[in-house]
Amino acid sequence: MKKLLLLFVFFLFSSNQVNSQSDFEIISWINNYEDTYAIERILDGTFSDKVFLYKDSRGYLIIKELIWDSSSPPIILTRIDLSKIIRIFAEPTTGTEMTAIDVNICVEAGYITAEGSKDGKPLRFDFNGYIRDNGYCNESIRLQFKLNNSDKYTQRIINAIAKLAENNGSNPEIGSLF
């Protein structure tokens, strides 16, 4: 009986350890993956990552994105409530040797916001109106893979974002609506 109990406890804890990656670990992995496979990792004319993800103290995923080339590029901060993610999918564009994908993270209406600034001053563009008019999704993560690996590598980034959503109480649909 003791051996059975010991075996049960071992099984219980070993399976949880395999499946319980922290949000920090997942976001670090996504940033490293994005650094490796980004279409444009460092924004031209800067020494900064074009896209960088982190989680704030309120549980929001922050996607920091530089939007065009200059010595002082505008910065867009998109806040996504991780508990409200409803769909994750990738839009592929296939070339002769490579496939480019835009990873879409879609949330319930009102649970994604964005703001832009340049040199510490707000930009005069209605980012939230744009999000409202074009769907409550973010597609800042743009990756590029060789054709023969694109499906497998695309699935890895989608699985990572889905796990991050699940860790925060969401159960998103995977794949495009149509």
Q: Each residue of 109-139: pLDDT tens digit?
A: 999 999 999 888 999 899 999 999 989 999 9
The residue ranking higher by pLDDT, 148 or 69, is 148
What stretches of the chain adopt beta strand conformation (E)? 51-55, 60-66, 75-81, 85-94, 98-107, 112-118, 121-122, 137-146, 173-174
Strands ordered across the beta sheet of 98-107: 137-146, 98-107, 85-94, 173-174
Q: Which residue has the tokens 């159960």?
A: 171
Tally of domains within the chain: 1
Number of CB atoms found within 10 A of residue 81's CB: 19
Per the domain annotation, does 1 fall within a domain?
A: no
- The alpha carbon of 63 is separated from its chain's Cα centroid by a whole number of angstroms, namely 8
Contacts with 17 (C-beta within 8 Å, 6 or more apart), sequence order: none
Per the domain annotation, does 99 fall within a domain?
A: yes
Per the domain annotation, does 69 fall within a domain?
A: yes
Per the domain annotation, does 33 fall within a domain?
A: yes
The residue ranking higher by pLDDT, 90 or 12, is 90
Per the domain annotation, does 15 fall within a domain?
A: no
Per the domain annotation, does 9 fall within a domain?
A: no
Per the domain annotation, does 10 fall within a domain?
A: no
Q: Is the pTM of this model over 0.85?
A: no
Domain of residue 40 covers 23-174
Per the domain annotation, does 12 fall within a domain?
A: no
Per-residue pLDDT tens over the stretch 78-97: 999 999 999 999 999 999 89
Residue 107 to residue 85: CA distance in whole angstroms? 4
